[in-house]
Structure 1
Amino acid sequence: MEIGQVIKYIRTNKKITQQELATAIGMTRPYIARIESGKNSISSDKLTEILEYCNVTYNEFFYIKNDYTKSSKMNEFNRVVELYYSKNYEEISEIKKRVKEKYDENGDIFLRHLYILCHCIENDLDPSKIKDEYINELADYLLSMEEWCFHELVILNNFIYLFPPETAFLMTKNLLYRAEKYKNLNLDKNIMSYLFFNLLEFSFKYEGYQYSKIILDATKKYYITVSDFFEQTLLIYYEGMLDIVENSIEEGIEKCERAFIIFQTLGHESIYQKYKADLEELLSKVKNKEATAEEV
């Protein structure tokens, strides 16, 4: 639907007359009629006023505008991810070809990044097989963006394990800025959750413990409600991991074990096994460092 059609659709379903809407936002009824018929355009400010008066969010507005579906671009992206998990690489290659053709036509950066994602998946997300120019292109793009939106968050989440550690850690400032600025918006909480905990895992994997503390502190501020129980359990686990590195191995293990009990109680056996393995890897690193220090 066109913008005017969506406005009319919302207005009529809310049982609001053109005159009532016009009066509420300081416009004339004929002007509202021309907007709805597509004869007049509308400013973003006036569109905001209309949506607020009708108690409709921007997300809902664009969802309705797209005939109650997510954007076609996002659908294609989600499809690639589904195909990756089902190991259907043949169809991913077909999507890659279509995406390249569309990108060559309109230069949409979203399509370029989707093309690179397809290339990475075709190469098993193995940094040694992926073209350096693609990883550098993504890194340059993310580092050049002063203000990150949902698209940039998705890129970092998808490619974080392909970036050199120092590059990924450099990008955390944009993530943390976004988290602080948008924490009351709650529109992309799932992607934020993936990113926070992927970055925490990444920081321990590459021993960037100073970043572990920064990310952990930011994550604690983000997940503070009762509904964030799972995330808070993960935070207990990572607090324990950081204690092992910085304070007390015994206290750190105790916190990790508390989180493990919750995972097992809730039936998250695969999650328990995954994080238990990460704990054992960290303990091995710490003990090896202690042994090396004693020898010196």
Structure 2
Amino acid sequence: MEHYGKTLKQLRISRNMSQQEVCAEIMSRSNLSRFENQEYIPGFDKVIQLLANLGVEMDEFMYINNNYHISHYERLYEQLIHAENRRNHSELMEAAAKIAVEKGTNRGFYELYLLSQMALLENKLPAAVTIAQISDEMRTVLLDTENWLFTDFRRLNNFLRIFNLEEAVFLYRRAVKEFEKYEAFPRENNIRIYLALNLGQMLAEHGQQAQAVTHFEQAKEYAGKKNKLFQKLTIEASLERVVQASAETKDNKGFKELLVVLSEMGYTDTVAALKNYQK
């Protein structure tokens, strides 16, 4: 398992634990020693048990094993999302170019490439593929998936806009139901929040303001439960835009005051992103 044994050994030593303490009732001490020295590859279930004895979760172990860095995929994904959220065209094109180099690595990188191309198209920038081509690649993947995994929620959130509104609503409702089994999952993060927010934005664009507000409120409620301040403010911006579209007044004093407070606290990137949601 690559250099996982070496990492496990480092963790064991840092915990001041003997080999016998770590491998008790899991494997022989000699096999653990061989694993630590890259001479033996134990079953995955054995590695999980060894980590449990060390008190280390698999996600943290993988992070440590990668020298305290996120994976190359996650790094490129974050660069893309960061650039897209702030509508920074130069950074977006730079991220898309880096991702294009990796598109043949595996299916994950290929889908990330499609996502980067969709971001370019939505920002009216040159792209190598069309929305129709992206749709042809991803529609079947999402519509035919029976047992959703965590990655499928993220995939739906990324590619929600390739579907028509009726399909998007159907998939969102299914996702909410499927998401129940992931309520306690440590990596749950922001996906459910953004699914509701993104569907709300689609509904607003199609003139279904009341339904849009309902989904924004759902996103806001969930963000509140998870103590996600930035997401709550993003949702407030979307709600403000929908309300203003049908109101006689354009006064959004409360929202502007929040932006001032955030600016004074040094969250300039956050303020810029929130302003983009108002456009």
Task: Please give the TM-score of this superposition, normalised by the length of structure 1.
Answer: 0.68
Structure 2 gaps, min length 5: 264-270
Structure 1 gaps, min length 5: 244-248, 278-296
Relative distance call for 1:264 and 1:212 in structure 2 (3 A) is closer
What is the rounded CA distance, in whole Å, between the counterparts of 1:163 and 1:232 in structure 2? 26
Relative distance call for 1:232 and 1:146 in structure 2 (3 A) is same
Which one-letter code corresponds to 1:27 in the other structure? Answer: M
Identity %: 20
What is the rounded CA distance, in whole Å, between the counterparts of 1:273 and 1:267 in structure 2? 12
| Secondary structure in structure 2 of the residue aligned to 1:87 | helix
> For 1:195-274, what aligned pairs fall within 5 Å after superposition?
195-206=195-206, 207=208, 213=214, 216-217=217-218, 220=221, 223-224=224-225, 227-228=227-228, 260=255, 263=258, 266-267=261-262
Task: Report the counterpart of residue 7 of structure 2 in structure 1.
Answer: 6
How far off is 1:276 after superposition? 7.5
Relative distance call for 1:174 and 1:17 in structure 2 (3 A) is farther
The answer to which structure has the higher helix fraction is 1
What is the rounded CA distance, in whole Å, between the counterparts of 2:91 and 2:149 in structure 1? 30
Structure 1 range deviating more: 258-267 or 154-163: 258-267
Larger radius of gyration: 1
Structure 1 range deviating more: 179-188 or 57-66: 179-188
What is the rounded CA distance, in whole Å, between the counterparts of 2:93 and 2:219 in structure 1? 40
Task: Report the counterpart of residue 134 of structure 2 in structure 1.
Answer: 134
Contact persistence 2:76–2:95 (CA under 8 A): no
Task: Report the counterpart of residue 44 of structure 2 in structure 1.
Answer: 44
How far off is 1:198 after superposition? 2.1
Task: Report the counterpart of residue 68 of structure 1 in structure 2.
Answer: 68
Contact persistence 1:233–1:262 (CA under 8 A): no
Task: Report the counterpart of residue 155 of structure 1 in structure 2.
Answer: 155
Relative distance call for 1:158 and 1:139 in structure 2 (3 A) is same
Higher relative contact order (CA 8 A, sep 6+): 2
Q: Does 1:53 align with 2:66?
A: no
Relative distance call for 1:37 and 1:208 in structure 2 (3 A) is farther
Contact persistence 1:200–1:215 (CA under 8 A): yes
| Secondary structure in structure 1 of the residue aligned to 2:90 | coil
Measured against aligned partners, the alpha-carbon deviations of 1:158-199 in whole angstroms (never above 9, x if no partner) come to 333343212222221343135422222342413443333222
- Equivalenced residue count is 263
What is the rounded CA distance, in whole Å, between the counterparts of 2:156 and 2:82 in structure 1? 18
What is the rounded CA distance, in whole Å, between the counterparts of 2:188 and 2:16 in structure 1? 31
Contact persistence 1:8–1:36 (CA under 8 A): yes
Relative distance call for 1:49 and 1:223 in structure 2 (3 A) is farther
Measured against aligned partners, the alpha-carbon deviations of 1:74-106 in whole angstroms (never above 9, x if no partner) come to 223333445652424664564354234x24xxx
Task: Please give the TM-score of this superposition, normalised by the length of structure 2.
Answer: 0.71
1:111 to 105, 109, 124: 109
What is the rounded CA distance, in whole Å, between the counterparts of 2:154 and 2:92 in structure 1? 21
Contact persistence 1:89–1:122 (CA under 8 A): yes
Measured against aligned partners, the alpha-carbon deviations of 1:246-292 in whole angstroms (never above 9, x if no partner) come to xxx99xx9xx9897487357447768877778xxxxxxxxxxxxxxx
